[in-house]
Amino acid sequence: MSQNPVVGRGPILICYDGSPGSRHAITAAGSLLVGRDAVVLDVGPLDVVAETYAAAGSGAADVSLAVFEGTLAQAEAGAELARQAGFKAEPRAEVDAPTWRGILKVADEIDAAAIVVGSHGFTGLRELIEGSVSHDVAEHAGRPVLVVPPPPKD
């Protein structure tokens, strides 16, 4: 398979949070980026860990481990979907805030050829209030980003 010169040789970084949009993004990416190596990433909420350290002190290490393990389990579920879509996929977990920063950190570490991220399709005030991980990733990535719109509603 010849490599497209615009997309590097590194693995594809697929962002997965278990949402319908992220599942749809894996399917779409599988049809476009057939046979590539992939890392499926879930970024866990750093704010939960930080709040627990502030409130619980030494017991927070258990919460930190639980957040990481839950995040890794989610990434493994996404990696299995990616394998079904034709990727050679491995899971990866990260705990960071904001989420987009954790995604870019991993993209840099693995020298990702591209980042795949699903979009919730928020617009206007809702996007302003809830933020847009896909928008922030695309704005700051410095590498190709495939933003997959939400699946069509039935």
Per-residue pLDDT of the chain (154 residues; tens, 9 = 90+): 444 445 678 999 999 999 999 999 999 999 999 889 999 999 988 765 555 555 555 565 666 777 888 899 999 999 999 999 999 999 999 988 899 999 999 999 999 999 999 987 665 655 555 558 888 999 999 999 999 988 887 6
Give the residue extent of every domain in the chain: 12-148
- 95: closest CA among 76, 70, 116? 70
Please name the residue that has the structure tokens 């949070």: 17
Assigned fold of 12-148: Rossmann fold (3.40.50)
**Rounded to 5°, angle at Cα 131 from 130 and 137:** 150
Beta bridge partners of 42: 93
- What pLDDT shows up at residue 5? 47
Peptide bond into 98 cis (omega under 30): yes
Region of 27 (left: φ > 0; alpha: ψ -120 to 50; beta: rest) is alpha
DSSP-H helix ranges across 33-132: 46-56, 60-84, 99-110, 124-130
Give the predicted TM-score (pTM) of the model: 0.82
